[in-house]
Amino acid sequence: MVPLANSAAVARSFLFQRLKWPVPMSRWRTAKEIRNLLNDPETRSSTIDLLLDYLDECKTESEVCEILTIVFLVSPVGRPSHLAIALRIHCPSILADMILERTYGFGCGIGRWRETHSGRAPADFDGGSYFEEHKTAHVPPILASNLGKLERVSGYPFLQQWAYEWKILRDKLGTHCTGYPHYFDDVLDARAGIMGQYWQRIREVFLSAYLRTLAYAVDECGMPRRMAEDYCLDIVHGIAGLFDVEPSARPAWLSNYPERFCAPGADFTPLLHELVQAARGEGMRLVSLDTPVASSVQKFSNLTLSAHLVTPDYELPDGAFLFEKMPWLSVADTFELKGPPAEITIEEASTEGKRGDEVAVCTCLFPMPFGAWQGDYFRMGLKSPASYTVPNTVIQCTPESIDSIGLDSKVVSRTQIWNDNWMPPCPKGGSTRCGTVTMIDQKVLAEAMERLGRKLAFFIRLRIWDREKEYGDYSESERTFFLLDL
């Protein structure tokens, strides 16, 4: 029995261990709780001690960067001193220096990452079958793509170097080469391809070897440091602003509409009219929706809605699929989702129809870096009004939503997220049970329609993954529907 006086310290110690939990969303929640303890004057001192001890024990570069990200997200008054942090970093990296500079100021990196790589890999080095088979499974495939691109441009064998750094580090740490953790999921579903993204210990080795390879590229191959920093952005754990947005409850107005769309022979015309009308409130209109269907109706199903501005003569091509474009928004200098949205012209975003053309009201919000802790939300897709729909806005994150703010400081649009009986596994090509909705000021939308000389239309997509028996593979079916707003 732990004495009551020590229970808080034990609880905080357990909290730090939850940073090793294999579910990214759980790590995000853990990071938020640690951040809150550091921001609280009553718990700050003891939490700083624990954080510094945890940092001192980190044996991989990626673990160090995860802790430094939490420090970055803490208010300045709640952070440990730069010296205290620097003394506890034993696995430095280019990314760690990037985070330190965005936390404590330019020039506050520690610079020891040049010493971390293992030297050039032997010419005949072979990373082995496990590395080749899992280098795009345990970590995002973009990492292999990045190094492959660098290899083609420079002629240096960066993919081989990555494998070499991975082998050296894995042998040093004694990390097991694990496969997919089927014990987390329903066995029959996992065999049918319903899988989740789990961060196992070996992931830290892949990520850290990648960072060591970039250190090698700068130190030995003459790569500009700025270029190496760009290639680090894909593994940033979290960014300010978005980190604070909390999942809300599923909107009450959504009611059972997603489930009604799943009914055999459902008439989408009246359902869509009802849904759009039900969503009206406080001068706002629905322009984007992505929601799971209740698992009691369909175990794996998803309904999306997107609003589009169409020319008066627009006609949808046969078999067409309308979507929202994804312009890239760089937040590399600040690691914060804030300020002007990504710029995209109506010409870049529009697609031709049988006659006329259309353009989505919203674009996908994709900052770089985006923050891997919240990857489930980006896998689903977060939306905000495109710059051609509402010019001269800025993005502002609150605990409740991601807002677009106009020149008059009023909220032009609001994007909210929620979890619906969330679980890590999802079908291939689908997303986890997250939901998001974007509402726009109806006056602003009307002004955009008049300015652009376009009408409003809605595109619905219903995807269902199902199987006839309790075992076997799932097959995907899809229904799409297009309707001009009346």
Q: Are residues 134 and 89 in the same domain?
A: no
Phi then psi dihedrals of residue 395, to 5 deg: -90, 135
Angle at 431 between CA 382 and CA 304, to 5 degrees: 60
94 lies in a domain? yes
Report d(CA 308, CA 10) in Å as an integer: 53
Report d(CA 219, CA 344) in Å as an integer: 37
Q: What percent of the chain has pLDDT over 90?
A: 91
Q: Return all residues near 144 (Cβ < 8 A) that are at least 6 apart.
A: 135, 136, 159, 162
What confidence score (pLDDT) does residue 486 get? 61
Distance of CA 61 to the CA centre of its chain: 21
Q: What is the pLDDT of residues 429-467, one digit of tens each?
A: 999 999 999 999 999 999 999 999 999 999 999 999 999
What confidence score (pLDDT) does residue 67 get? 98
120 lies in a domain? no
150 lies in a domain? yes
What confidence score (pLDDT) does residue 2 get? 44
pLDDT at 285 over 80: yes
149 lies in a domain? yes
Q: Are residues 101 and 231 in the same domain?
A: no
Q: Are residues 283 and 347 in the same domain?
A: yes
Q: Are 283 and 441 within 8 A, CB to CB?
A: yes
What confidence score (pLDDT) does residue 13 get? 86
Q: Residue 151's pLDDT band (boundaries 50, 70, 90)?
A: very high
Q: Are residues 451 and 335 in the same domain?
A: yes
Q: What is the pLDDT of residues 310-328, one digit of tens each?
A: 999 999 999 899 999 999 9
Domain count, the chain: 3
For the segment 329-338, the average pLDDT, to the nearest whole number, is 97
For the segment 285-292, the average pLDDT, to the nearest whole number, is 98
Q: Are residues 184 and 280 in the same domain?
A: no
Q: Residue 11's pLDDT band (boundaries 50, 70, 90)?
A: confident
Boundary (domain end) residue, out of 211, 237, 263 = 237
pLDDT at 7 over 80: no
For the segment 465-478, the average pLDDT, to the nearest whole number, is 89
For the segment 14-25, the average pLDDT, to the nearest whole number, is 94
Q: Are 436 and 408 within 8 A, CB to CB?
A: no
Q: What is the pLDDT of residues 345-379, one digit of tens each?
A: 999 999 999 999 999 999 999 999 999 999 999 99
Q: What percent of the chain has pLDDT over 70?
A: 99
Radius of gyration in angstroms for the set of CA atoms belonging to the chain, rounded to a whole number: 24
Bridge partners of residue 434, in order along the sequence? 419
156 lies in a domain? yes
What confidence score (pLDDT) does residue 9 get? 79
What confidence score (pLDDT) does residue 4 get? 45
Q: Which amino acid is at 179?
A: G
Q: Are residues 216 and 292 in the same domain?
A: no
Residue corresponding to tokens 């409850």 = 249
Q: What is the pLDDT of residues 239-251, one digit of tens each?
A: 999 999 999 999 9
166 lies in a domain? yes
Q: Are residues 215 and 251 in the same domain?
A: no
Phi then psi dihedrals of residue 333, to 5 deg: -75, -25
Q: Are residues 277 and 363 in the same domain?
A: yes
Annotate 188-205 with DSSP letters as a single string.
Answer: HHHHTT-B-----HHHHH
Averaged pLDDT score across all residues of the chain: 95
Q: What is the pLDDT of residues 77-132, one digit of tens each?
A: 999 999 999 999 999 999 999 999 999 999 999 999 998 999 999 999 999 999 99
Q: pTM (2 decimals)?
A: 0.94
What is the residue range of 183's domain? 129-237
For the segment 187-192, the average pLDDT, to the nearest whole number, is 85
Q: Are residues 161 and 288 in the same domain?
A: no
Residue 355 DSSP label = B
Q: Are residues 268 and 330 in the same domain?
A: yes
pLDDT at 196 over 60: yes
Q: What is the pLDDT of residues 368-407, one digit of tens each?
A: 999 999 999 999 999 999 999 999 999 999 999 999 999 9
347 lies in a domain? yes
pLDDT at 168 over 80: yes
Q: Are residues 268 and 231 in the same domain?
A: no
Boundary (domain end) residue, out of 206, 237, 268 = 237
Q: Residue 483's pLDDT band (boundaries 50, 70, 90)?
A: very high
Boundary (domain end) residue, out of 237, 261, 292 = 237
Residue 22 DSSP label = S
121 lies in a domain? no
pLDDT at 40 over 90: yes
Q: Residue 307's pLDDT band (boundaries 50, 70, 90)?
A: very high
Q: Are residues 72 and 146 in the same domain?
A: no
What confidence score (pLDDT) does residue 187 get? 84
